[in-house]
Amino acid sequence: MENYIKLYMIGKGSGGNCVYKVKSLLNKEEYAMKRILIDINEEKERNTYFNEIEVFKRLHHCNLIKYQESFIHKNKLCIIMEYANQGDLNLLIEKYKKEKKYIPENEIWYIIIQIYRAIEYLHSKKIIHRDIKCQNIFLSGNEKINQKIIKLGDFGISKILKCTYELCKTPLGTPYYLSPEICSGKEYDYKSDVWMFGCVIYELMTLEKPFEGINLPNLIMNILKKEIKNLPCIYSKELIFLCKKLLTKDVKNRPYIWELKNYDFFKKKNDSFKTISVIRDNMNINKVQNYNNKINKLFKIKLNNFPIVESEIENEEDNERLSTVKEDDNIKSLEKNKQNFLNGK
């Protein structure tokens, strides 16, 4: 803890657990520090929290919150991780609620594709998140150049499976997002994450949760028996279909995350969503801003709907490297794909 100074609290949970914004005295970078009160002599409790660290350590993806380090300080487990400087999806939804506006479909697709990539990566590593919700999906990036990246975080109750089709039995997760199979006490697998993903998409489209209740038993009954409300007609039939498909109650008919590419419209969206990699050392702020203006003119939308992203590329030999793309090639790539992405083709 001697290497960090606490700036202020950014979140508080049960049992005295807190999240602080901290600053490193070594590299002057800002991070989030999750501080958890634990009994280091209690093996079960210790293993539960250390699970998050083990999950964190093996994850390297541009749409996941990065793990920095962890340590014990005064009987508290401190996990240092990437700080998401633009809040979470819940704050974004509240913003649109106050403005009494729906979130534009282009912005929803922008969010969906990045969450999809994060979940697909987790599942490829045989990891079920088990607590996907708007409060655990963060927005990060350099606001000076309108950079916005979606980051999935909070792996406290993630489960590492031994094989692809292993099933879980422990009913964990936020009640509003619990899948029908968990509510009914059945075994569950990766498709439970897909249900939660569907709940997030529903919230983005309607600005409210798909299922609510006056108490937990009533909520569970609604999840099991009640159908979702009609989705706003301002959205495309493809987006409405996707949301309904992910919220299919019968787990046998709900797709795995990797099966979404089987839908032509989704594959085109994913393929058209080109991530532009920029090495900041080679571009000053003025140059980046000029580049942003060119993109704005091409897309005729605000840049935060289609940002410049510093991307990480995954492969077997190097789990964390940067891809550099020339500015002229970026513009040509954007021009080639803008109609497919923005027009929903």
**Full pLDDT tens readout for the chain, 345 residues:** 788 999 988 877 666 678 889 999 998 989 998 887 777 667 766 676 676 677 777 788 889 988 888 888 887 888 888 888 888 999 999 999 999 999 999 999 999 999 999 999 999 988 888 889 998 999 987 766 666 789 998 765 444 444 444 444 444 446 889 889 988 888 888 999 999 999 999 999 999 999 998 888 899 999 999 999 999 999 999 999 999 999 999 999 999 999 999 999 999 888 877 543 333 334 444 555 565 565 555 544 444 444 434 343 344 334 434 344 444 455 555 555 555 555 555
Q: What is the CATH number of the domain that holds 43?
A: 3.30.200.20
Question: Cα–chain-centroid distance for residue 105?
Answer: 18
Residues 300 and 190 grouped into a single domain: no
Does residue 78 belong to any structural domain of this protein?
yes
Residues 36 and 107 grouped into a single domain: no
Residues 63 and 153 grouped into a single domain: no
Residues 290 and 213 grouped into a single domain: no
Measured CA to CA, the distance from residue 134 to residue 200 in angstroms comes to 6
What is the Cα gyration radius of the chain?
Answer: 21
Does residue 243 belong to any structural domain of this protein?
yes
Give pLDDT, residue 333: 54
Residues 293 and 266 grouped into a single domain: no
Domain boundary among 82, 104, 127: 82
Nearest to 112 by CA among 161, 63, 159, 146: 63
Assign residue 112 a region (left: φ > 0; alpha: ψ between -120 and 50; beta: otherwise): alpha
Give pLDDT, residue 193: 93
Measured CA to CA, the distance from residue 151 to residue 81 in angstroms comes to 12
Give pLDDT, residue 230: 92
Q: What is the CATH number of the domain that holds 186?
A: 1.10.510.10
Does residue 30 belong to any structural domain of this protein?
yes
What are residue 2's phi and psi, to 5 degrees?
-70, -15
Strand ranges for the chain from DSSP E: 4-12, 18-24, 30-37, 67-73, 76-82, 127-128, 137-140, 149-152, 159-160, 312-313, 321-322
Residues 122 and 255 grouped into a single domain: yes
Residues 111 and 70 grouped into a single domain: no
Domain boundary among 214, 241, 270: 270
What are residue 340's phi and psi, to 5 degrees?
-60, -45
Does residue 345 belong to any structural domain of this protein?
no
Residues 219 and 328 grouped into a single domain: no
Residues 146 and 205 grouped into a single domain: yes
**Whole domain around residue 69: which residue ranges?**
4-82
Residues 254 and 306 grouped into a single domain: no
| Residue 311: partners with Cβ closer than 8 Å, 6 or more residues away | 62, 275, 276, 277, 322, 323
Does residue 260 belong to any structural domain of this protein?
yes
Does residue 185 belong to any structural domain of this protein?
yes
Does residue 324 belong to any structural domain of this protein?
yes
| Residue 339: partners with Cβ closer than 8 Å, 6 or more residues away | 345
Q: What are the Cα distances from residue 305, in Å, to 103, 144, 257?
A: 11, 15, 23
Residues 112 and 13 grouped into a single domain: no
Q: Among all residues, which ones are annotated catalytic?
A: 131
Give pLDDT, residue 1: 75
**CA atoms within 13 A of residue 345's CA, in its CB half-sphere:** 6
Does residue 281 belong to any structural domain of this protein?
yes
**Type of residue numbered 169:** K
Q: What's the structural domain count of the chain?
A: 3
Domain boundary among 224, 255, 270: 270
Measured CA to CA, the distance from residue 121 to residue 95 in angstroms comes to 29
Tokens linked to 269:
């969206």
Measured CA to CA, the distance from residue 170 to residue 1 in angstroms comes to 34
SS3 214: coil
Asked whether the beta carbons of 142 and 149 are under 8 A apart, the reply is no
Residues 195 and 243 grouped into a single domain: yes
